[in-house]
Amino acid sequence: MPLMAERLSAIGFSCEYINRNGVTNLWARRGSAAPLVCFAGHTDVVPTGPLEQWTSDPFVPTIRDGLLYGRGAADMKGSLAAFVTACEAFVAAHPQHNGSVAFLLTSDEEGDATDGTVAVTETLKARGEGIDFCVVGEPTAVKTLGDMVKNGRRGSLSGKLTVKGIQGHIAYPHLAKNPIHMAAPAIAELAATVWDAGNAHFPPTTWQISNIKGGTGATNVIPGTVEILFNFRFSTASTPEGLQQRLEDVLKRHGVDYEITWTLGARPFLTAEGALVDAARGAIRDELGLETELSTTGGTSDGRFIAQICPQVIEIGPVNATIHKIDECVEAAALPHLAGIYRRILERLLHD
């Protein structure tokens, strides 16, 4: 992040660190006029996994057969480098450009995501500093750079369900109450439930169990409780409040004795077709000769936080086939084209 701040300062950006609870965040801005185009991304990466399974050191960038290997090469250090070089080229060609350009960089996206982009957006909102357009550098391409752009993301709603029974000897079930047996019919109904049909922009909402934990480890003890972790990935066709109510109605209908803790990880967001989507489509067409696909599939991103202060947020980045994997890599020749896409977006939105 200091290297990026140094490069950005050299082309006229004012750099400000907005840190919180040990998390480093950089807000860099060039210009004060509207509209403001922001590039957003993260410098942190997921753990490497077993080092012995990597072909080369995951933290030493290595090019083999035209591919740049390293943890974060695709998610998302490649995009960060392209952001900077795109801005350097844009400022060199348009030193008196209209509007403003900003960078929102965090080191807390792959982790808890509580003191990173959230801290910056809260600070910007408090001082009335809005963002008009934002490009997040998440790896969005499927087969080749530019084939897909994310113009929204589904929401994420998690629950920790504890079903309460009565522990006892497995040979005397009439003296106990098995919470797993109690929960099973409700789980079957929940798994078969159609939560919504999605809409023109989002696939249907899904519900999945991620973990079930119960019992003492002994084969002759009926457990007293069972803990079930689950998650909704939901579209704008549903609300978190509605999903909570429907799930709890099923539990009550089956007579389940339970406690539940809800965690709303993200609300869905959507950027409709408009200036930013048009600029991205045109930039990809001019740079690569491709007609890109708009999509809202995949997991969550920091775009969900930025969307609270920015009306138009999209994500464009390299191919995502190897992200979070051993030997993560990105096509080295694609990175200059990615920078070209970012530069062309700036030219379309902030032309002289």
Q: Which of 75, 108, 109, 110 is catalytic?
A: 109
CA distance 147 to 318: 10
| C-alpha–C-alpha distance, residues 257 and 33, integer Å | 58
CA distances to 173, 299, 304 from 307, in Å? 53, 16, 5
Asked whether 18 and 119 are in contact (CB, 8 A), the reply is yes
Contact 237, 196 (CB under 8 A): yes
Closest to 345 in 3D by CA, of 34, 148, 133, 84:
133
Catalytic residue (one of 44, 88, 122, 132): 44
Establish whether 44 is a catalytic residue. yes
Q: Which residues have C-beta within 8 Å of that of residue 61, sequence separation ≥ 6? A: 68, 69, 70, 73
Contact 231, 161 (CB under 8 A): no
Are residues 16 and 25 in contact, defined by beta-carbon separation less than 8 angstroms? no
User: Catalytic residue numbers?
Assistant: 44, 109
